Amino acid sequence: MEREFLTQFTFENNSCACDIESVIDDMSGNLIKRIALKETKDQTIKMGYIYGSGLKVLGDRKKREKNNVLGEFLGIKKDDIESYKSYFEKYGFLFNTNPDRYTSINTSDLYYLQESLLAFVQLMNNQYDIDFKNSINTQELLDACIFLLFREPKTIKINDSIVFETKQNYIMNIVNNSINHNDGIEGLKYEDRNGQKIGYFEIYDSVFETTIKIDQEKYLKILQHERLPNWCKKLLRVYKNKNQLVKNHKWHKVSDFLYHLVFDLSPFDMYNITLDGIFNDELYKDLKQNKQIFDALIYTSKLLLSEEFQNNLKSVHPVYNVLDMKPDWKLPSLFSAMYFSLFYLDSSQVGLRKCANPTCNQYFEVSKTNSKKKYCDSFTCGNIVNQRRYQRKKREQQK
Ligand SMILES: [Zn+2]
């Protein structure tokens, strides 16, 4: 097979037959559409990760057809069930299903997986690199971190076996469950200020790497504030009591970062988290100017990157291919193969770029140093945009 010698790993997916079914949703009573799919016996799709161009189907392909496993999945719009269907017909499903009967999948589950993967791509794409800070898109980085920290945990089962599971994040678990009966007393110190005895707490701030003082009165006032959301109060409690509550010290900086984000920059609605702009534009600018808080964001993003890799690659095993005498990997699913393609992405040299066709949304791999490539595919997206431009020009000339 052509180019196979250049691949870092290969993966064989089962192909599937795919339909759209309409059912009454148990929860809402509304009519909803679902994907129903069944594996096609004895038919597989062989893919490989090719350095610099991504995960692709190997072997003969139809001419002019896009071949970009990860990028096309990320580009599917919310609730666009037809696009999910054609994607699975082309590349097979994300997980193994049953070849003997149809399995039904909700589009909301598919979209959750897509957003989780996109958040991960945004973290990969916005780490320190050649241009240091200038090429980092603060909005993408911050939104992705907040998404991965605050998303509702989800378990997806197929035929009674769990194929995907998000763990509640370590630090969010502590924040959500923090209750402290000795809140205003624990660690209380006193000092004399103008003849008055004032109670205060000393807190080590790992973002600013210094010890700060908060007066007991101010602390209790914030905890009793009527309009401040409960989870923000819990965040303050963890900020103050992290030595007792956060046993794993590498997360101290993350909880302190969240504290500064909410109390110094902007509170936000933790139940309304999206990947397209949680905050207003000013906040993203302010954040970039604020060196310590920005560094804490980078720190947080790196911790989340390693967590996500660990969680999504936990079932990947090394195997040895004795036929070719080559090392290889056993991947449990297409979804893990997509994460694994990012594992092999050399992010200092190669990045994922969003297609410049505004109706496309797909991502593609490009060299960071010398590529001016704007479109995921020059035949489809490049041509569409060029034609639009040409027609607009023609209309303007006719006026
Ligand atoms: Zn495109």
> Ligand 1 centroid to 133 CA: how many Å?
27
Look at residue 142 in the predicted model and tell me its pLDDT: 96
Within a domain: residue 261? yes
Instruction: Name all contacts of 323-330 with Cβ < 8 Å and 24+ positions apart.
Output: 328/9, 328/10, 329/9
pLDDT of 135 higher than 80: no
Please, which pLDDT band fits residue 143 given cuts at 50, 70 and 90?
A: very high
Look at residue 2 in the predicted model and tell me its pLDDT: 45
> Ligand 1 centroid to 262 CA: how many Å?
37
> Ligand 1 centroid to 384 CA: how many Å?
9
| Residue where a domain stops, chosen among 303, 326, 350 | 303
> Ligand 1 centroid to 193 CA: how many Å?
65
| Residue where a domain stops, chosen among 267, 286, 303 | 303
Shared-domain flag, residues 121 and 198: no
Within a domain: residue 158? no
> Ligand 1 centroid to 382 CA: how many Å?
7
> Ligand 1 centroid to 365 CA: how many Å?
12
pLDDT of 339 higher than 90: yes
Ligand 1 ion: Cβ-proximal residues, 5 Å cutoff: 355, 357, 360, 362, 376, 381
* pTM of structure: 0.90
Question: What token pair was written down for 212?
Answer: 């700060």
47 contacts 55 by C-beta, under 8 angstroms = yes
Please, which pLDDT band fits residue 201 given cuts at 50, 70 and 90?
A: very high
Within a domain: residue 364? yes
> Ligand 1 centroid to 28 CA: how many Å?
36
List the beta strands (DSSP E) in 25-117.
Answer: 31-50, 54-57, 103-106
Closest to 115 (Cα-Cα) out of 87, 73, 156:
73
> Ligand 1 centroid to 388 CA: how many Å?
14
Lowest mean pLDDT among 17-31, 86-100, 125-139, 231-245: 125-139
Within a domain: residue 381? yes
Shared-domain flag, residues 97 and 137: yes
Number of domains in the chain: 2
- 3-state SS of 257-317 is HHHHHHHHHCCCCCCCCCCCCCCCHHHHHHHHHCHHHHHHHHHHHHHHHHHHHHHHCCCCE
Shared-domain flag, residues 183 and 260: yes
> Ligand 1 centroid to 383 CA: how many Å?
10
**In angstroms, rounded to a whole number, what is the distance separating the alpha carbons of residues 145 and 303?**
10
Neighbours of 363 (CB within 10 A): 23
Lowest mean pLDDT among 91-95, 218-222, 304-308, 390-394: 390-394
Look at residue 284 in the predicted model and tell me its pLDDT: 92
| Residue where a domain stops, chosen among 303, 330, 345 | 303
Look at residue 233 in the predicted model and tell me its pLDDT: 92
pLDDT of 183 higher than 90: no
Shared-domain flag, residues 17 and 126: yes
**In angstroms, rounded to a whole number, what is the distance separating the alpha carbons of residues 14 and 93?**
8
Within a domain: residue 211? yes
pLDDT of 1 higher than 80: no
Within a domain: residue 24? yes
Look at residue 373 in the predicted model and tell me its pLDDT: 87
Within a domain: residue 76? yes
> Ligand 1 centroid to 359 CA: how many Å?
8
> Ligand 1 centroid to 341 CA: how many Å?
20
Closest to 83 (Cα-Cα) out of 59, 103, 66, 98:
66
Give the domain range for residue 315.
Answer: 10-151+306-398
